[in-house]
Amino acid sequence: MKSQHIGALALAIAVVILGLLLKQGLTSFSGKERTVNVKGLSEMEVPADKVTWPLVYKEIGNNLQDLYVRINKNNKVLTEFLISHGIDAEEIGINAPEIIDMSAERYSTSPAPYRYNVTSVVTVSSSKVDLVRKLISDQGELLKQGIAIIGGEYRYNTVYTFSGLNQIKPQMIEEATRNARAAAEKFAQDSESKLGKIKNASQGQFTITDRDENTPYIKRIRVVTTVNYYLKD
């Protein structure tokens, strides 16, 4: 009987010790897994380094051969205007004209005064962004030569782009990571903890947008980095 009591006491002590060890292990594991998740933002404004400028004009008439001659003449005038103002010949493209036969329009309620409506587009694709912007402002000069460049066509908008993202990626990622660490250090300080090593991190997608609708030639680049840090006592 005495041995049974001793055995039961030993088993109880063993259970208590096991519980204490398990509690200590869980506490230690929990402490190692205390983390803080932070995000770091980096933003930069850069000038566009490429512009695509479509010069759109229309011609109307009843004789296609006559329209063909006029369009070729206008395209020559436009090309000479652009080259004389600093645009290289290889930066100029001439699209095939788009011809609408007004007499074939099913939804026309009255006879059109002219049968053919022709849209012609001469496109400038250049890295000389500042020069093209100046020419856009000065395109009124073409009116003196009988060419009216039209605007407002949703298919033909001037587009500014930035192609130098790979050159600025490293410094932006560095800045975003630095900002994330600053946020993590502030959190650790407020929680009376110390910042440990990085558990894992992920880089967000770079986005390039216009700064605003009035300055599409200025681009805003943005990236967000997400970092998980360990916290320690």
| Segments in 146-205 forming alpha helices (H) | 165-190
Q: Band of the pLDDT at 89, cuts 50, 70, 90?
A: very high
**Residue ranges covered by each domain of the chain:** 33-47+164-232, 51-161
- By the 8 A CB rule, do 208 and 218 touch? no
- Work out the pLDDT band at 114, boundaries 50, 70, 90: confident
pLDDT over 80 at 203, yes or no: yes
pLDDT digits (tens, 9 = 90+) for 143-167: 888 898 987 777 889 999 999 999 9
For 19-71, write each residue's pLDDT tens digit: 454 455 444 444 457 899 999 999 999 999 999 999 999 999 999 999 999 99
Contact 217, 45 (CB under 8 A): no
Between the alpha carbon of residue 229 and those of residues 171, 172, 199, the distances in Å are 21, 20, 5
Q: Which residues of 65-98 are buried (b: 16+ CB within 10 A; e: fewer)?
A: eebeebbeebbeebeebbeeeebeeebbebeebe
> What's this model's pTM, rounded to 2 decimal places?
0.77
Range 73-77 average pLDDT: 95
Report, as an integer, the average pLDDT of 9-26: 49
CATH fold for the domain made of 51-161: Alpha-Beta Plaits (3.30.70)
Number of CB atoms found within 10 A of residue 155's CB: 9
Instruction: Say if CB 58 and CB 99 are below 8 A apart.
Output: no
User: Could you tell me which of 232, 206, 201, 202 has the C-alpha nearest to residue 219?
Assistant: 206
Mean pLDDT of the chain: 86
State the DSSP code for 128. -
pLDDT, tens digit, 9 for 90 and up, residues 117-137: 999 999 999 999 999 999 999
pLDDT score of 155: 82
Rounded Cα distance, 210 and 212, in Å: 5
Rounded to whole angstroms, how far apart are CA atoms 173 and 42?
7
CATH class, 33-47+164-232 region: alpha beta
Residue 159, beta-bridge partner list: 52
Q: Tokens representing 27?
A: 């506490």
102 phi, psi to nearest 5 deg: -65, -30
Q: What is the pLDDT of residue 233?
A: 80
Give me the pLDDT at residue 124, please.
97
End-to-end CA distance of the chain: 50
